[in-house]
Amino acid sequence: MIDTTWLWAVFTVLAAAGQTARNAMQRELTASLGTVGATHIRFLFGFPFALLFLAGVAVFSGAALPHPTLIFWPWLLAGALCQIAATALMLAAMGERSFVVTIAYIKTEPIQVAVFGLLFLGDPLNPLMMLAIVVATAGVVVMSFKGGGTTDGVKPTLIGLGAGGMFALSAIGYRGAILTVSLGSGFVMAATFTLAVGLVLQATLLTIYLALRDRAVLSAIMRMWRPSLLAGFMGATASQFWFLALGLATAASVRTLALVEVLFAQAISAFIFGQKTTTREGIGIVMIVLGVALLIWSHPT
């Protein structure tokens, strides 16, 4: 029997690394496809790989595909739609002058996940875990705030908090779906099945939306299928690890540890682009590391 006590942390770190790579690829595609088009590739070019992952798990484990109960579908739909809504709010945030401040509020997601997880799933929280969530989240906020960017008014705050809330509800929805499937399947099959169905749903919905609203973007996506395919693969791989982690640990724990993505991005800025780390950023990094360490130490076994 494999000890899964720490697997959730391993899966989360791998997911954060994969997401950092995917974001870098999507950033290059944004100039050609626009933000909506570059975002859509994570679904459109991701779901075929998710289906391959599902087929691989079925073949190598010998397990049959799950037959989810009716309760699975509301959880899945909530996760998929909230993720799309969160993306839409992030797009709105890009129109605000204080984008960095807005992103800082989006990164309050772990705190909102903790609250929603307790309310909707009954996910346990002990005082040390809550302290870890607050410290790590505060570290991201410290890193995100820059001089002169804190006085742009209420609107960026509401957009950022709304996006963070939607991302939080998305994580709760997906974890709820995984848990309903895992009642009759192992966590690997449950997570992989939920990911595959969720990506197919999102790809279908956004393709219909673009077909109705902006067919030119769909045509551009098809023309750039080669770089989009690699970004889709990295996105599906990162999502696979996210879902595996959500099958083993609370959404609050996973989304807090996921803040290491900020450290990966900072490392890329420092070592690849030669950008120096400021004192404020250094303080934020220390806070994130302390919060993550406290989370790992306090996580129930």
**What was the pLDDT predicted at 231?**
84
**What was the pLDDT predicted at 188?**
93
d(Cα 224, Cα 227) in Å, to the nearest integer?
6
CB burial of residue 91 (10 Å; 0-12, 13-18, 19+): middle
Q: What angle do CA 25, 27, 33 make, to 5 degrees?
A: 100
The terminus-to-terminus CA distance of the chain in angstroms comes to 16
Domain containing residue 152: 7-63+70-298
On whether residue 2 sits in a domain, the answer given is no
**What was the pLDDT predicted at 292?**
82
On whether residue 175 sits in a domain, the answer given is yes
- Core vs surface per residue 124-154: b (16+ CB within 10 A) or e: ebeeebbebbbbbbbbbbbbbbeeebeeeee
- For 196, what's the count of Cα atoms within 13 Å in the CB-facing half-sphere? 20
Per-residue pLDDT of the chain (301 residues; tens, 9 = 90+): 455 678 999 999 999 888 877 776 766 676 677 777 877 888 999 999 999 999 999 999 888 899 889 999 999 999 999 988 887 777 666 555 444 555 566 777 888 898 899 889 998 888 888 898 889 888 877 876 665 544 455 666 677 788 889 989 999 999 999 999 976 778 999 999 999 999 999 999 999 989 998 889 889 888 888 888 888 899 899 999 999 999 999 998 898 888 887 777 777 666 765 667 778 878 888 888 888 888 877 765 5
On whether residue 1 sits in a domain, the answer given is no
What's the total number of domains in the chain? 1
**What was the pLDDT predicted at 280?**
80
Q: Are 257 and 295 in contact (CB under 8 A)?
A: yes
The count of residues in the chain is 301
Helix 127-144 crosses helix 260-271 at what angle (to 10 degrees)?
30
- For 269, what's the count of Cα atoms within 13 Å in the CB-facing half-sphere? 11
Q: Could you tell me which residues come within 8 angstroms of residue 274 by beta carbon, excluding any fewer than 6 positions away?
A: none
